[in-house]
Structure 1
Amino acid sequence: MQLIFTKGSGKYDRMDIVRNGLPAEGIDCPKQGIIPHDMVHFGVEITLHKRGFIGRVLHGEAATFQMEAEPESDGVERLVEIFQADGWSGWNSSPADMLDLYRVTCDARQCPPLQLSIDDIDAVRKKLLELTALWQAVAMGASLVLEFE
């Protein structure tokens, strides 16, 4: 599956999803000052090999904002939120603090947390920083193509 992120000039970027045998789908991604939300999903899911939004779309679900609750996917969503917050604060939160905040967030949302280590947090952050560098190099109106299998 290809995820094609296009940098928009207004309030939105765009993600187009190209899957074998299914119609292409597109999502407008509100700009948030860091990489797009769904690019954070890509980084988390491809690094940890967990099934979240991107994995569910890969397996045929429609790319909508209202998916049915699913424990692993919900745990991924909470982790994406933690990494977004880390990005907004400069990508320099302590991994131990991020794990603590992740557990608190999961408890508050009554969501089983993924089993994660500090090494997992470091690996995801490394991937997100790579994606950030790639995204920053994309010109307005141009695209970044990511492969997800």
Structure 2
Amino acid sequence: MRKILPILTLAFASFFIYSCDNNDDEVVAVDNSVYAQVRDVTGTFTSANNFKISQGLNIPSTDVVLVYRNVGTGSGANAVWQIIPKTYFLNDNVAYPANRELDYNFDFTTQDVEIRTEANFNQATQMTGSEATQYLTNQTFRIVLIPGVSGKNINQKTSRYSWYM
């Protein structure tokens, strides 16, 4: 019994020493969520504006820009969005050139997003009224700015493929 009592005392004391540990093992979660910004733009493509719609925005140099076109008649939750660039092949019409193609495209800088139409025909004179209404008049676009962060080793050479394995 005399040999067991010191062992029990030592075990009891070490239990209290361990329970008085002040280290906080709880991991604090940091919310690193980023949220994309969205802006809707409506405009009409004409020869006066060189078939371009420009939207001034303050865009950080690391952000990524996506542009969608509302292709349906719905709005809000019922809207149907299609990403651009997109090419439309217009129906042949005897009054106009054959194989007409109309492209929606965009580019952006840190100060603006420019949405434009490009075609292999004269958009001002070689479209029917219904085609102009469908593709050029009151077009709604959704510009999505997705935040990005530059990588730490952005200037390293990428020729060492073992880095990616």
Answer yes or no: same fold by TM over 0.5: no
**Structure label with greater radius of gyration:** 2
Q: Which has the higher helix share?
A: 1
TM range, smaller chain: under 0.3
